[in-house]
Amino acid sequence: MFGWPTAVPVQPASWWPYSKRIRQSAREGILVWCADRLQAVKWKNFKVHFYQQETMVSPPVKLAIPFLFNLYTNPREDTDKQITDSWVIGPVLKMVGEFEASTRKYPLIAMGTTDPYTPPAK
C-alpha cells in the first residue's frame, strides 16, 4: 500500500496521481522557475510572464509590465496577441505569495544537500 513520506512536509496536491481516492489535481496553476528566478506563472488558462527570453541561451530580460496570455485563444504565446485582462495578476500574485509563505515555514532544501535529507529540528 502507498504510504505518505514523513521526513519532509508534502503538499497532498503533489501526490494526487498516486492516490486512488483523488481523481483530479487540487492545483489551479504552477510557478515556472528558470534557474533562481520566477520566469512565469500559469493559472487556469492564463499565463503571466515576468521575463522575456527569446531562446534558451539568450539573456532573460525583466519586463516592466508582465506579458499576459490566454492559452485558449493564444496557445503559442505570441507576443503580438497579448491580452489586457489585468485582473489575472491578482490570482497569480496570490499563488506567488502562498509559495513564499510556505518557504518561510518550510525552507527550501539547499542544492547539493546530501541524501538522505534530515530536516532541521523544530
Task: Tell me the per-residue pLDDT of 88-100, one tens digit each, with 9 for 90 and over.
Answer: 999 999 999 999 9
The CATH number covering residue 73 comes to 3.30.1120.10
Number of domains in the chain: 1
Q: Rounded distance, CA 47 to CA 54, Å?
A: 16
Q: Rounded distance, CA 41 to CA 27, Å?
A: 13
- Look up residue 11 and give its three cell numbers: 503538499
3-state SS, residue 84: coil
pTM score, whole prediction: 0.73
H/E element, 104: helix 89-105
Domain that residue 54 falls in: 24-105
H/E element, 63: strand 61-70
Does any domain span residue 115? no
Q: For each of the chain's 122 residues, which pLDDT tens digit applies?
A: 455 555 556 555 555 555 556 566 778 999 999 988 999 999 999 999 999 998 889 999 999 999 999 999 999 999 888 888 899 999 999 999 999 999 998 888 888 888 888 887 76
